[in-house]
Structure 1
Amino acid sequence: MDISESPLAEAGRRFFSPENAKTWIGLLRPGYHLREQQAGEPLVAYLGGEPMLPGDAEWPVWEGHGPLSFVAAFDCEEVPPGQLDIPLPEAGMLLFFYFNGVGEDAVQYLDPESIRGGTRVIYVPETSDDVAPRKTPEGLEPFPRVMLTGELIATAPDNENAALVAAFGDPSGDPAADDDYTEYPTVGDADGDGFYDALTTFRRDHSPHHRVGGHSLPKAGSVEKEAAHAMFPGDDAAAKQARRELLKDLVMLIQIDSDARAAMEWGDTGRLYWLIRRQDLEAREFDKATFTWQSE
């Protein structure tokens, strides 16, 4: 896929100055959009149902709360190698679990203890033995199975994305600051309506927004900054510096949207996001992945 030929790049060329359009296109990142599989299309991922696990793998449990719900899995071998800008495994399956509790038992936005216990990423290498469907633990209702295929798309940074703020925001500001925000640099476009219409149309055409890699699509503020808070909470100088450094390395592994077909409703039409340091992904240290979720 040539990002420079994507609808998002074309929107930049149409509504930004030539210099800003070039910068904008440089900020776009490839993502792998997961959509419902049609006849004759390859199976890339699936939502819900019974996960495929090795015989010696235990179903993930949050101690003191209960078993996690299986959310999604995708086949790394089906994602075109070298087409994403994150170092995914070339083969094997990645499975994602989430404690779908309510009230005090729900996974919280920025509670590190909850994130460590209430979510899990399991990597099943292609060499694993005795891999078979695993029955959902008693008392836990599985989500309905939805089969997904995929396609490469361009993805855009949101208004609070540190790279976007650094490119188009106040030069004296801190792009990593929690509340730093910048408008897209439209020109000759009243209130940016034409650009936002193009952005909205592109996003509508790729909904639900299940995605591997690329920029996250937030519901309520920067996903990356929320995830950085989960890893380095606190308002002291050391925590802020740690988050600033982390944002340079943190990449989105997968986002799972609310999806009526799978009876998945994360808050009010919310999304789940798993993120990881680039070097941890390359080392296959998926236990170091972090998580956040957002809803409107």
Structure 2
Amino acid sequence: MQKKQLLTRLDDRQANELETYINSKSMWSPITSFVEEKGLRNDYTKGDFINFLKEVKEENSMNYAVFSYYSLKNLAEALGIDVKWKFVRRKAKLRKPSDREQQKPTLSAGQVEKMVNAVKGNGYDYEKFFLALSTSYGCRRIELSRVKEKDILKDRLLVRTGKGGEVREQYLPKQIRPIVQNFEFKDRDFTVNILSDVFHDIREKAGVEKRDRMGWHSIRRGLVTEFRKKVSQTDGYSDADLFKFVRWKPNSRVEEMLSIYDNADPVEADREMFEIHPSIHYWEEN
């Protein structure tokens, strides 16, 4: 069942609420799979959700199981179903990730440069587009899947963040501007799963060895690691600048208030960050 088919079978209120709750195309996947398996009803039980989540967990990664949990919670809320979600999550046994699952592969500056050179010389337009965004802003996979044509402006890009961080316009540097602005979306649907395949296609072209749990976040970790070196060595920059640039959610009341009261132009702040950006120069034409 596709998203459009599901919405047409809901009443107007339910359809509106479901579209309000879900702002990412990729979040429709667990919902439509659930409805295909269980049928579209207004009387789902806890067992329906629990059993489905168990199946998801057995066949997919822990991250996708948790992702599915939140997607189904949105479905239940739209349908007006009273479900004790803590109970559902506990019964689905979405346990703490194992040590292996918590491994954090990080791409080095050299590996990132090899990937950029690989797509510049022999890459599809979408490979250049997503790698340019990833290496420039450290975009999470979910953030890449949310980029729309309307989000690309003359000298800035709207990043619809993941994990509750700040949704904000960011400066679009001249090095990647042609790649980003000339990209043709053509109604192509780049889900988070498809984006994982895109990452590994690029990795293989670059000859970068695959490691467990390597993905777009590996570029983000590498970018933050290299940025920290620059920030610590360059006058006029602080960790707070990096914090905002990579769209981290404040994890304390103090950081939250600083974020609220800081009225500096974020785009201008980004422009300054790109002056010490560790990898944006990879995209310059030789």
TM-score of the aligned structures, taking structure 1 as reference length: 0.25
By percentage of residues, which structure has more helix?
Answer: 2
Larger Rg: 2
Q: Which has the higher strand share?
A: 1
With the length of structure 2 as denominator, give the TM-score of the two structures: 0.26
